[in-house]
C-alpha cells in the first residue's frame, strides 16, 4: 500500500491509497478514518444555511443527509482561518443544459440567450476560503459551473469520496496555485474540465512548490451544450498554465480517465519534469480518432508548456520515466461511445467504465 504524506494547516494527514486491483474490483484498501473522528467539535449543517466559518482547530461540519437545491452563485461558502472538516451533503444547482457561460450573444445559441438566462460562469457548489485548509468527504454536487472552486485564501485541500457530476466547467478549480490539492477515491463524472490548474490573468503566484495528488479516482470529461464562446468539445483533464512560474507538481496513481467527444484545448497528461509519481493510470479515449478534436490531432496539440512537448510526446516521455504511468484504450471505429463505455476492457481488469461507476456509487450508497 502506498501512503501519501499531506501537510494541511501545519498538521500531517496520512491518506491511504488503494491498490489498483482493489479499485477495479470495487474493494479499495481500508480508507483512512474520517476527519470527524479527530474533530474536537462537530456542528450539524442545515439546509437554510450556506456559510460555515472554521475559527478553531478541530472544528467539523456534519452535513450528512442535508441538501441545498437551486442555490445561485456559490452554493456553499467555507470561511474562517482554521483547518476544517466537512462531511456529506448534496448541492443540486439550477444550471441545467439550457444555462450558458455568460448571458452575452457570443456565449448563447444562435436563436439568442434563453429566458430566463442563467449563467454558470463564476458559480460553484462549494467555495473553500479558509487559510487553514479543509478536508472534504462524501460531498456530492451537480449542475453548476464548477464543483469545488478554491478562493485565493484557501489552504491545502483534501477531497475524499466526492461525487462531482454534470458540471459545465471545472470539477475542481484552483486559479491561484498557492496550496496543495489531494483527490482520493472520488468520482468526477461528466465535467468539461477535470482540474482547473491555470492561474487567472490578474495573478502571478509562484506555484512550483505546490502539488496536485490524484489517486484511485474515476474521471470523465465531455463537451457542454452551451460552452464558452460556443467552442465545441471538452477542455481536457488539466487546464494547464504556460508560465513556468505557475507550474505545479503532480502525483497520479491508479486513476481511470475517460475523454468523451471531441477535445478543445487543455491537457490530457501532466507536464513532464513536474511529475513526482505516476503509476497504474488508464485513459479511455471515447472520442473520434481523426478530424477536429480527435485523438490524432490531440497527440500533436498543446505545445508551449514548461516541458516543450506535445500531448503525444508527453505520454511517451511519462511512460519512459514512469513505466506503466498511463495505459491508453482507443474507441474502435464504428463503435458508439455508449457501447465503448459499457464494454469490458482488459486494462480495467475486465471491467467497463459503466461498471466501475456503478460499483463506486454502490459502495458510497447510491
Q: Do the bridges between strand 84-87 and strand 134-137 make them parallel or antiparallel, or are there none, so unpaired?
A: parallel
pLDDT at 150 over 60: yes
User: Is the separation of the CB atoms in 33 and 15 below 8 Å?
Assistant: no
Query: What DSSP assignment string belongs to 47-98?
Result: TT--EEEE-STTEEEE-TT-EEES--SEEEEEEESS-EEEE--EEE-S--TT
CA distance 11 to 19: 25
Q: What is the pLDDT of residue 24?
A: 54
**Residues 11-48: pLDDT tens digits?**
322 233 333 444 454 445 566 789 999 999 999 999 99
Strand-pairing partners, residue 17, are 2
294 contact partners, CB below 8 Å, separation of at least 6 = 262, 263, 287, 288
- Write the DSSP symbol of residue 63: -
**Residues 71-97: pLDDT tens digits?**
999 999 999 999 999 999 999 999 999
Query: What DSSP assignment string belongs to 185-234?
Result: S-EEEEESEEEE----TT-----TT-EEEEES-EEEE---SS-GGG--SB
For 112-118, the CB contacts below 8 A with 24+ separation are 118/94
Q: What is the pLDDT of residue 365?
A: 85
User: Would you report the helix, strand and coil content of the chain in percent, each value rounded to 5?
Assistant: 15, 35, 50
Percent of the chain at pLDDT exceeding 90:
90
Q: What is the pLDDT of residue 4?
A: 34
CA distance 69 to 91: 6
pLDDT band at 180 (very low <50, low <70, confident <90, very high): very high
- Of how many residues is the chain composed? 366
Q: What is the pLDDT of residue 32?
A: 78
**Residues 264-314: pLDDT tens digits?**
999 999 999 999 999 999 999 999 999 999 999 999 999 999 999 999 999
Rg (the chain; Cα; Å): 19
Q: What is the pLDDT of residue 147?
A: 98
- Write the DSSP symbol of residue 78: E
User: Is the separation of the CB atoms in 101 and 124 below 8 Å?
Assistant: no
- The mean per-residue pLDDT over the stretch 124-135 comes to 95
**Residues 206-265: pLDDT tens digits?**
999 999 999 999 999 999 999 999 999 999 999 999 999 999 999 999 999 999 999 999
pLDDT at 346 over 50: yes
- Write the DSSP symbol of residue 238: B
Q: What is the pLDDT of residue 33?
A: 87
pLDDT at 121 over 90: yes
User: Is the separation of the CB atoms in 81 and 132 below 8 Å?
Assistant: yes
Domain coordinates of the chain in residue numbers? 2-364
Q: What are the distances in angstroms from CA 200 to CA 178, 197, 229, 240?
A: 12, 10, 18, 11
Q: What is the pLDDT of residue 3?
A: 31
- Count of CB atoms situated within 10 Å of the CB of 320: 10
Q: What are the distances in angstroms from CA 86 to CA 54, 243, 332?
A: 10, 33, 42
CA distance 180 to 169: 20
Mean pLDDT of the chain: 92
Amino acid at each position: 500500500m502506498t501512503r501519501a504524506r499531506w501537510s494541511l494547516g501545519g498538521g500531517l494527514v496520512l491518506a491511504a491509497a488503494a491498490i489498483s486491483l482493489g479499485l477495479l474490483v470495487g474493494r479499495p484498501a481500508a480508507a483512512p478514518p474520517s476527519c470527524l473522528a479527530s474533530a474536537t467539535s462537530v456542528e450539524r449543517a442545515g439546509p437554510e444555511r450556506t456559510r460555515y466559518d472554521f475559527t478553531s482547530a478541530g472544528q467539523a461540519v456534519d452535513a450528512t443527509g442535508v441538501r441545498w437545491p437551486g442555490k445561485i452563485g456559490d452554493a456553499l461558502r467555507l470561511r474562517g482561518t482554521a483547518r476544517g472538516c466537512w462531511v456529506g451533503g448534496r448541492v443540486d444547482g439550477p444550471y441545467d443544459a439550457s444555462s450558458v457561460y455568460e448571458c452575452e450573444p457570443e456565449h448563447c445559441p444562435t436563436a439568442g440567450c434563453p429566458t430566463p438566462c442563467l449563467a454558470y460562469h463564476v458559480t460553484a457548489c462549494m467555495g473553500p476560503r479558509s487559510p487553514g485548509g479543509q478536508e472534504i468527504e462524501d460531498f456530492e454536487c451537480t449542475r453548476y459551473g464548477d464543483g469545488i472552486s478554491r478562493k485565493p485564501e484557501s489552504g491545502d485541500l483534501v477531497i475524499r469520496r466526492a461525487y462531482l457530476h454534470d458540471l459545465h466547467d471545472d470539477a475542481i478549480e484552483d486559479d491561484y496555485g498557492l496550496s496543495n490539492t489531494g483527490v482520493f477515491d472520488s468520482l468526477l463524472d461528466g465535467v468539461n474540465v477535470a482540474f482547473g490548474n491555470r492561474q487567472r490573468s490578474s495573478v502571478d503566484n509562484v506555484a512550483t512548490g505546490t502539488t496536485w495528488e490524484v489517486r484511485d479516482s474515476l474521471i470523465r470529461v465531455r463537451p457542454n451544450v452551451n460552452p464558452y464562446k460556443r467552442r465545441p468539445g471538452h477542455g481536457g483533464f488539466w487546464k494547464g498554465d504556460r508560465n513556468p512560474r505557475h507550474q505545479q507538481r503532480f502525483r497520479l496513481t491508479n486513476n481511470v480517465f475517460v475523454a468523451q467527444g471531441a477535445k478543445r484545448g487543455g491537457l490530457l497528461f501532466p507536464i513532464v519534469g513536474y511529475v513526482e509519481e505516476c503509476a497504474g493510470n488508464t485513459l479511455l479515449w471515447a472520442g473520434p480518432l481523426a478530424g477536429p478534436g480527435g485523438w490524432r490531432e490531440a497527440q500533436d496539440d498543446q505545445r508551449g508548456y514548461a516541458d516543450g512537448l506535445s500531448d503525444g510526446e508527453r505520454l511517451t516521455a511519462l511512460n519512459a520515466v514512469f513505466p506503466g504511468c498511463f495505459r491508453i484504450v482507443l474507441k474502435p471505429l464504428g463503435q458508439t461511445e455508449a457501447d465503448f463505455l459499457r464494454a469490458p476492457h482488459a486494462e480495467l481488469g475486465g471491467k467497463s467504465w459503466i461498471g466501475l461507476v456503478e460499483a463506486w456509487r454502490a459502495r458510497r450508497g447510491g
